[in-house]
Amino acid sequence: ALALSIVAGLRSGWALALLVAHSFLLHSYLPLTHDLFYGADAWRHLATENSILVGAGTMEPVISDDSPATELTTKVGRLAYSQLWGTSALLARISGVDLATLNKWLLPILWSLFVPLILYEIGRSLGWSRRLSLVFVWLSFLPYAWQASGAFTLPVNLGFITWLALILLIFKRAENPESAQVWILIAAGLLSIFGYSLFVLLFWLSFLVFELINWKED
């Protein structure tokens, strides 16, 4: 029905709002069916976030009781996970919402709000029509990996949203390149090191490839 309403010519603003609402319902199945949250990884991150919140000064990625983190994995983990740890601790401090509730709902809310909007803007940046961009957003609901990612509050999933937003900035630069945009992207890329490491590498690779292509065309 949602796809038919898009094709039938529903106004793009209303269609995008329905896509955001649908995304929220799609990714809320785990928070709504579990009293706490699903998955062992979330419990490990919750422990670190709680330590930060109470001022214990501990920011160590927990691997397991019988496989302690090496010095390398500890350093990489601090950077890769600090975006989620800091965001959760800050939101808990400001809102007064307990960390368990935040870990249930943070990614379903962020994913549902931002991923459809970013994908829509990427479609528009590629020169697609509003209708085709809306279809592009709707198609993003089909892969099960994305359905699951939006339901789990994990560093990799938060990192994906950040990476997608940075890719949008690259596409926006492609529309109307200006020299100041390079410094904005470099600053954003440097800040992204506090997110999931895979997406940091993917961003810098994408950025460098685009700049190389842009330089050759000039």
pTM, to two decimals: 0.85
pLDDT for 59: 58
Distances, alpha carbon 97 to alpha carbons 9, 26, 39, 92, in Å: 41, 23, 20, 5
CA angle centred on 83, ends 122 and 209, rounded to 5°: 40
pLDDT for 174: 85
| Encoded amino acid at 141, one letter | F
pLDDT for 169: 94
pLDDT for 8: 67
Residues of the chain with pLDDT under 50: 63-65, 67, 69-73
CA separation for the pair 105, 95 (Å, rounded): 14
Q: How far is CA 90 from the centre of its chain?
A: 17
Could you tell me if 110 and 161 are in contact, meaning their C-beta atoms sit under 8 angstroms apart?
Answer: yes
Could you tell me if 24 and 112 are in contact, meaning their C-beta atoms sit under 8 angstroms apart?
Answer: yes
To the nearest 10 degrees (0 to 180), the angle between helices 130-139 and 99-125 is 140
pLDDT for 31: 87
Residues 6+ apart with CB under 8 A from 208: none
pLDDT for 92: 92
Could you tell me if 214 and 177 are in contact, meaning their C-beta atoms sit under 8 angstroms apart?
Answer: yes
CA separation for the pair 28, 150 (Å, rounded): 8
pLDDT for 200: 93
